[in-house]
């Protein structure tokens, strides 16, 4: 079973129709934000990540496209309990919970 960080670091390789072209001008790591008193270790395994409850941010059609696409490509799904429209609002829901927010650095 691959590590969650390996899955999260793969970039979105969606098809781009011609005559458009793409170029990577930076790469971003995904990180998990949790409450200071959450029962997680400093580094989560994929099994722990998938078993946990998540906060999602509605970036594209109701989901965070990159983490969701990476997980689904490997046959996995997160358990998203709450979906919010903004990352700022999502971070305010973390304290005092076991929820995980996945976001870029």
The alpha-helical segments, DSSP class H, found in 1-105 are: 4-9, 46-51, 65-73, 87-92
Rounded Cα–Cα distance for residues 70 and 34 (Å):
21
- Top-confidence residue, 60 or 81: 81
Per-domain residue ranges of the chain: 30-104
Residue 88, token pair as written in the block: 């700022």
Q: Which of 25-34, 45-54, 78-87, 89-98 is least confident?
A: 25-34
| Level-2 CATH architecture, domain 30-104 | 3-Layer(aba) Sandwich (3.40)
Q: Which of 28, 39, 2 is nearest to 102 (CA)?
A: 28
Does the pLDDT at position 15 exceed 80?
no
* CB neighbour class for 26 (10 Å; exposed up to 12, middle 13-18, buried from 19): exposed
Report the predicted TM-score, pTM, of the whole model to 2 decimal places. Answer: 0.73
Give the model confidence (pLDDT) of 26-52 as tens digits. Answer: 787 888 999 999 998 888 889 999 999
Q: Which of 77, 79, 60, 78 is nearest to 14 (CA)?
A: 60
Rounded Cα–Cα distance for residues 38 and 102 (Å):
15
- Report pLDDT for 61: 66
């Amino acid at each position: 079973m691959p590590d969650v960080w390996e899955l999260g670091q793969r970039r979105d390789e969606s098809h781009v129709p011609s005559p458009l072209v793409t170029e990577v001008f930076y790469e971003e790591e995904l990180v998990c934000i949790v409450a200071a008193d959450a029962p997680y270790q400093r580094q989560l395994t994929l099994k722990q990540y998938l078993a946990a409850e998540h906060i999602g941010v509605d970036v594209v059609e109701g989901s965070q496209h990159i983490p969701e696409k990476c997980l689904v490509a490997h046959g996995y799904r997160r358990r998203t309990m709450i979906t919010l429209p903004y990352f700022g609002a999502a971070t305010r829901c973390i304290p005092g919970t076991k929820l995980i927010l996945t976001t870029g650095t």
